[in-house]
Structure 1
Amino acid sequence: MYEYVGNLHIHSVYSDGTGTVAEIAKKAQRAGLDFVVITDHENMRGFKKGEEGYYNKVLVLIGMEINDTCCHYLALNIKEEIENNTLNPQQVIDQVNEQGGIGIIAHPFEKGSPFYARGIAFPWNQWQVKGFQGIEIWNFCSGWKDNLESRLKAIFLLFWPRFCITGPDKEALKKLDFLQGQGEKVAAFGGSDAHNIRFRLGFIPVMVGSYLKTFRSVNMHILLKEKLTGDYKKDKVKIYEALRQGRSWVADDYRRNSRGFSFNLKYEDRTWTMGDEVEYREGMWIEVFTPHKSRVRLIHNGQRVAVSQGRKHVFKSIEKGVYRIEADYMILGCYRPWIYSNSIFLV
């Protein structure tokens, strides 16, 4: 498998971001990314203007974020814009599916803060829907807003936003586990929700959601069976197929890059990885490798069943069900959330 790293859920000058497509690509290259997915609100102007493609070594893909007051939905791998429909988001999901797209419920449990944008939040509030492909379990911008719990903390996080990284949304993880437990192959996604907003606090210039900083934080790592070739159209298919199948993990790469992580199911000489659905056989085991020392939790059907520390982790006594991995790294004597894998399904 070949690993590539990208950032999802990005806003440009075509909605409420401040960077052009080319500027975003340049920041992504500085951050060491292989691809980005721009999802401007309610439009795909960049796609229509032919701005999707390679910028040096970074592949820029363009989707959109649908809906305004609630039920925000990321639509990837579509060609035509889809109108808002907050009253009936099922129609939005169906339209994305009709185009063969990938649909992701964005920041589903966002709470907001009275100290930012008058407390406005954009949660998902209609869970009777079906047919979506993913849930955004970790959103940098939403995590930042939700942590502005006091005036003093809000000022602190304006200048040191990295301290808002407290891990994925716990409710989103619970929802993911619940849906997968019901037999739904819904994938976990993470995104920056980067806007690169500039303003002044008195005489002090401030930036919220810097492209460069967020591109080094909550990222998507994907596994491909073949290398990217530099052919924009062929590589686009490969990246979207990996995201659709859940051959990926979400990680905060700022202090510990998660390149090289692996989470595999083993049986005799056979190996399966994230996104795979496998027929259960007695004697199977799980192997996990983390590129730095970490504390790893094995999650089975939404429950923690084992913990391991170090870099190589082996788990035996495997049963039928859904398995995923959570990993934390240690800094200054404290564990920090790091890697959240997609699942392996044993049936």
Structure 2
Amino acid sequence: MTDVAMTAITRRGLLAAAGTGTIIALAPMSFAAAATGTKTQVVDGQIAPGPTDFVYLPVNVPRGVQQISVSYSYSKPAVPAGTPGNSCDIGIFDARGFDFSGPGFRGWSGGFRTEFSISRTEATPGYLPGDVMPGTWHIVLGPYQVAPQGMDYHVEVTLTYGDAGAKYVPAYPPTRAKGRGRDWYRGDCHLHTVYSDGRNLPADVAAGARAAGLDFIVSTDHNTNASHGAWGPYAGDDLLIVTGEEVTTRNGHWLALGTKPGQWVDWRFRARDGVFDRIQQQVHKAGGLCVSAHLYCPWIASEWKFGFEGLDATEVWTGPWGWDDDAAVSTWANLLAAAVREKKRWLPAMGNSDAHNPGNVIGLPHNVVLADDLTKDAVLAGLRAGRSWIAGSAGVDLEFTATSAYGRKAGIGERLSAQAREQVTVSLRVSGVPNGTVRILTDEGQMLQSSLDGSGAGTVTWLTTPQAAAFVRAEVRNPLADGTPGHTSMDPSLTFGAMAALTNPIFLGHN
């Protein structure tokens, strides 16, 4: 089957049928019934340059099919310097339909794999085992980038006939581990495996988390829930594993943390489509959190375009520290000041590794959250409340408090009730950052800078009032690459080393 007819679906029709964006539906591919053996069909076509988001290839699957297998390839012509070349993702929906957020989702591997298979017993990582039910399935091509010459694609579909086989039974992780009661727990909430575009197995991620001194992790493979049922064997009394997803849209990525095991979050929408609120409500209804990820990631379609309304937190530090993290922290600091000024809910900050491969450091960075116990609900509640700070490693520790003249005390993510002119003592105790730089910041900017000695430990105090500072927060920076601390705040060439720790704010004064 070649040169298949294409039918464009309008944005309005797509909102009703299969999410949003510009899509193309191809003529269906049909197979005859059989008792045993395999049958293969091929489709070739071209996607023209333009705003196409998805191409849907219908496959009419008869009864008696044991397995469906798909492989694909696409052209990669030379392009002028600075022009994006062809890049195409792939996934599939079963006979229950490809409606937006519907039940038919059966897997997505992005551009990481060129082939996949699904049966009742097993599936290629990224895809969901289960019945190969009769009816119309839809293979989804996602032309991420299309060269000026267009994109020629080739898709092969093979059906294997026979007995369905044993039913797959997922092994979801438990929702609690053996905690220490109300305490500070460390966790990385942005991690990938072979179930999306990572090269780490779930066993590798769990081992890396334990080696990094973490108490919990969240699984966030791109656009699929397929790994959820694989995590059970790797959880334990010492490691809480929480299910989630990185929702990878064409206008930025966000983390759905703490979704129900097996819950899938649709990604087929853009910022202008007006469905983000609805999707966030689905995650919140399941008890999860919505967190914008790597705001200024320079990769195509990765920068954040959805705004911050309805989010539970924003990721300001992703993996090894870079310029984009500095920009994210600056954006977040401005959001804090605006929240105070406009008397709105403030947005907590998070930091995660986004580790994909063996060379990435799990836990660089991670969140240190005050939770009532080491359970999914308690950890998510602590993150939602902003009772957390971000650490570059388990070797970094701190305590950050504000105490009023009358002895009232508040910690990270809390409010210190005090009169406008009442003196407040801000205290930051740090360890694990040799020759580091400590910064105390408010809604007005940096107010104090101090250096740690070679031991990496020290305590810094600063006096203020609620009238002078609506909130206080702290940063701890590593020394510069040459080993020297950051320059003083009076230096016009103000420079700091990479972040070692960053706190959420303590708010001062009455609401």
| TM tier, smaller | 0.7 to 0.9
Equivalent residue for 2:313?
A: 134
1:345 aligns with 2:507: yes
Q: Is the CA contact (8 Å cut-off) linking 2:352 and 2:366 kept in structure 1?
A: yes
Q: Is the CA contact (8 Å cut-off) linking 2:408 and 2:417 kept in structure 1?
A: no
Distance in 2 of aligned mates of 1:338 and 1:279: 29
Kindly name which structure, 1 or 2, has the bigger radius of gyration based on alpha carbons.
Answer: 2
Distance in 2 of aligned mates of 1:174 and 1:16: 30
Selected match of 1:103 from 260, 277, 290: 290
| Amino acid of the structure 1 residue aligned with 2:220 | T
Deviates more, 1:31-40 or 1:48-57: 48-57
1:269 aligns with 2:269: no
Change beyond 3 A, Cα 1:334–1:323: closer
1:191 aligns with 2:331: no
The secondary structure found in structure 2 opposite 1:15 is coil
TM-score with structure 2 length normalisation?
0.53
Change beyond 3 A, Cα 1:263–1:287: same
Equivalent residue for 1:19?
A: 200
| Amino acid of the structure 2 residue aligned with 1:95 | Q
Q: Is the CA contact (8 Å cut-off) linking 1:25 and 1:55 kept in structure 2?
A: no
Selected match of 1:298 from 440, 451, 458: 440
Change beyond 3 A, Cα 1:307–1:94: same
Equivalent residue for 1:278?
A: 416
1:317 aligns with 2:453: no
| Amino acid of the structure 1 residue aligned with 2:306 | Q
Q: Is the CA contact (8 Å cut-off) linking 2:219 and 2:241 kept in structure 1?
A: yes
Equivalent residue for 1:161?
A: none
Equivalent residue for 2:476?
A: 327
| Amino acid of the structure 1 residue aligned with 2:402 | L
Selected match of 1:238 from 365, 378, 385: 378
Distance in 2 of aligned mates of 1:304 and 1:122: 30
Change beyond 3 A, Cα 1:69–1:52: farther
How far the C-alpha of 1:167 sits from its partner, in A, is 6.8
Which runs of 5 or more residues in structure 1 are unaligned? 113-119, 141-163, 197-206, 229-234
Distance in 2 of aligned mates of 1:78 and 1:41: 14
How far the C-alpha of 1:74 sits from its partner, in A, is 0.4
Distance in 1 of aligned mates of 2:211 and 2:228: 23
| Amino acid of the structure 2 residue aligned with 1:265 | A
The secondary structure found in structure 1 opposite 2:227 is helix
Question: Runs of 4+ in structure 1 displaced over 6 angstroms?
Answer: none
The secondary structure found in structure 2 opposite 1:41 is coil
| Amino acid of the structure 2 residue aligned with 1:83 | D
Change beyond 3 A, Cα 1:168–1:264: farther
* Number of aligned positions between the proteins: 292
| Amino acid of the structure 2 residue aligned with 1:126 | F
Equivalent residue for 2:365?
A: 218
The secondary structure found in structure 2 opposite 1:18 is coil
Equivalent residue for 1:152?
A: none
State the Cα deviation string for residues 120-163 of structure 1 (Å, max 9, x = none): 35011132x511011110111xxxxxxxxxxxxxxxxxxxxxxx
How far the C-alpha of 1:23 sits from its partner, in A, is 2.4
Distance in 2 of aligned mates of 1:308 and 1:334: 9
How far the C-alpha of 1:10 sits from its partner, in A, is 0.4
How far the C-alpha of 1:179 sits from its partner, in A, is 2.1
Deviates more, 1:46-55 or 1:129-138: 46-55
The secondary structure found in structure 1 opposite 2:282 is helix
How far the C-alpha of 1:81 sits from its partner, in A, is 1.6
TM-score with structure 1 length normalisation?
0.76
1:81 aligns with 2:264: yes
Which runs of 5 or more residues in structure 2 are unaligned? 1-181, 453-457, 487-496
How far the C-alpha of 1:227 sits from its partner, in A, is 5.0
The secondary structure found in structure 2 opposite 1:24 is helix
Selected match of 2:393 from 253, 274, 277: 253
Change beyond 3 A, Cα 1:48–1:216: closer
Deviates more, 1:7-16 or 1:46-55: 46-55
Change beyond 3 A, Cα 1:18–1:345: same
Deviates more, 1:75-84 or 1:41-50: 41-50
**Structure with more contact order per residue of length (Cα contacts < 8 Å, sep ≥ 6):** 1
